[in-house]
Chain A
């Protein structure tokens, strides 16, 4: 059903009206950060009964013939809200879901798109990550959101795997370059680059404002960021934080935090400190600059310790 131009404008103009109650009323509306690139910023919170687990940046890219959703959201409700935004912006079919990694705030909204039978694109290691963690994510969402708010939330199994790189043609001259990364934020991270607008969609390879969460490899993440910094881009889309940020400037804070985590943890290991002693001692100053540090920094230190003790 084609929308008249006027009706589309009216819908987009009052973005708030498209958003449901609860989380929808509290988040910013979708932002078109570059032509055809739309981002719904997430809240700097953890999953709760009132926020749809809409805590990550999610969005979509509109090509000439098709739409790719990038990270379908943190719950069924979040995914449904994202889908309504897509449908208000374009009548083109949602042909692709890109799951940038397995974390529930990015992937558990996929069920909202299941009836469209999209191609689901993920890192070659994504199926294993989902298989290991899906049950635990369901239990976590039920516990944190309550059974009612969590009901129906689920990832979808990937139908196309990326081992190095995949070019995704959305038609109309828009071809996304999707890259698979070595273990970094997680062990199954994807990033996307849109040459048409020089936009680098990094998802959780880039955190802004909200404390990064380490669930892959600290050394690997620093290496991947180093390589990505060499990529020219007009803007980057982080997994948490503003809808778009300057690149590579936005990498500096994250790199600083990860380096402090690495250097502080190495020093603690060399000094003979045990794993239980380090979270209250390493990189506290650097952590204090980030939101929700009290929830995640300690765990980052513990994870870094378990990686670096084997160096």
Chain B
């Protein structure tokens, strides 16, 4: 007598589309197939076709780099970084991050605002089974350049909330901003910035027959960063992003301005915070 607790159909589809290709829990062998298994390449071809409407992609080479641990320490919070070559920076306005074997494979889509670029991005993602991660950079001229990393991690989507759900909810919407190398220091000297929103970011659970538990899905679906009222970065995301969505990016500009972060979740809750980022002297 199976007492399964399937995820909601909405989240099987994922907020970011590619619905028909998602088959959660497809084959228990997912966890042990090697990277070279033909099924993995087929999966990526199918995902790509769905996400990019059949447009073709080319290998990114030096233009786009995806760094992820080959063996993740914590499947629920795998740190990844994306970087563009200097030549590519002005030409790339969007980067898609896809985790092929996740229930919601399109983990995030990063879009540069008029006041920013996508030269250096970081995120923390959930990885549900040994998988390829793919990053695809969209160039202004329509080209799509892709790169991949194989990651060994599993179970990241099964433990959607780390500790106390009640505590996580109480803190929901609180934000952090860090400047590991200090405030921005002019238009030509971008500095790393990290922003985070406290949020369970969970796919939730349907009603479990025995315990009568139902945990609602609550996840951040969009995040927007502005500096001096100009948009720097926009991120569309959902449950493949870890609890307390945390993103890093590069910011260039005169110091002393206001950095503002706005976030919105699937329940239409809106959160916002702002900081004045350093003054000279």
Contacts and interface: CB of A to CB of B under 8 A. Distances in A.
A125 B124 contact: no
A161 B104 CA distance: 34
A131 B79 contact: no
Interface of A: 125, 127-128, 130-137, 139-140, 142-143, 147, 157, 183, 187, 216-217, 272-276, 279, 298-299, 301-303, 306-307, 309-310
Interface in B176-198: 176, 178, 180-181, 194, 196, 198
Q: Which 7 A-B pairs have the closest CB atoms?
A: A136-B158, A272-B180, A276-B79, A127-B211, A298-B73, A299-B73, A136-B155
Contacts of B13: none
Contacts of B129: 139
7 contacts: A125-B164, A131-B5, A137-B158, A143-B31, A187-B163, A302-B73, A310-B198
A279 B73 contact: yes
A274 B180 contact: yes
Interface string B88-129: 000000000000000000000000000000000010100001
Interface string B51-89: 000000000000000000100011001010100000000
A274 B247 CA distance: 11
A135 B4 contact: yes
Listed residue (B4, B73, B198) with the most chain A CB atoms within 10 angstroms of its CB: B73
Main secondary structure of the interface of B (DSSP, over half): loop
A272 B178 CA distance: 8
Contacts of A157: 3, 210-211
B154 A275 contact: no
B154 A139 contact: yes
A160 B28 CA distance: 33
B32 interface: yes
Contacts of A217: 163-164
A306 B31 contact: no
Nearest to B5: A131
Interface string B9-41: 000000000000000010010011000000000
Given A131-B5, A275-B79, A306-B244, A187 B164 contact: yes
B181 A272 contact: yes
Contacts of B5: 131, 134-135
A131 B28 contact: no
B69 A276 contact: yes
Interface of B: 3-5, 25, 28, 31-32, 69, 73-74, 77, 79, 81, 122, 124, 129, 154-155, 157-165, 167, 171, 174, 176, 178, 180-181, 194, 196, 198, 205, 208, 210-211, 213, 215, 243-244, 248
A214 to B, nearest CB: 10
A272 B183 CA distance: 13
Given A127-B211, A272-B180, A275-B77, A133 B158 contact: yes
Contacts, number: 99
A70 B194 CA distance: 45
Contacts of A274: 79, 122, 180, 194, 248
A279 B78 CA distance: 12
A221 B123 CA distance: 28
Nearest to B248: A274
Contacts of A279: 73
Contacts of B81: 276
A112 B194 CA distance: 49
Nearest to B167: A183
Contact of B215 (A128, A183, A273, A307): A128
Nearest to A136: B158
Listed residue (A133, A135, A140, A279) with the most chain B CB atoms within 10 angstroms of its CB: A135
Contacts of A307: 163
Given A135-B4, A135-B5, 14 more contacts: A132-B160, A134-B5, A136-B155, A136-B158, A272-B178, A273-B180, A275-B77, A276-B79, A299-B74, A302-B77, A303-B74, A303-B162, A309-B196, A310-B171
Contacts of B180: 272-274
A50 to B, nearest CB: 17
Nearest to A126: B211
A233 to B, nearest CB: 27
Contacts of A131: 5, 205, 208, 211, 213, 215
Contacts of A183: 163-164, 167
Contacts of A275: 77, 79, 124
A285 B178 CA distance: 29
A42 B32 CA distance: 26
Contacts of A125: 164
Contact of A147 (B4, B28, B181): B28
Contacts of B161: 132
Nearest to A269: B178
A128 B157 CA distance: 15
Contact of A140 (B69, B154, B210): B154
B32 to A, nearest CB: 6
Nearest to A138: B28
Contacts of B162: 303, 306
Nearest to B156: A136
A127 B3 CA distance: 13
A310 B73 CA distance: 20
A273 B160 CA distance: 25
B151 to A, nearest CB: 13
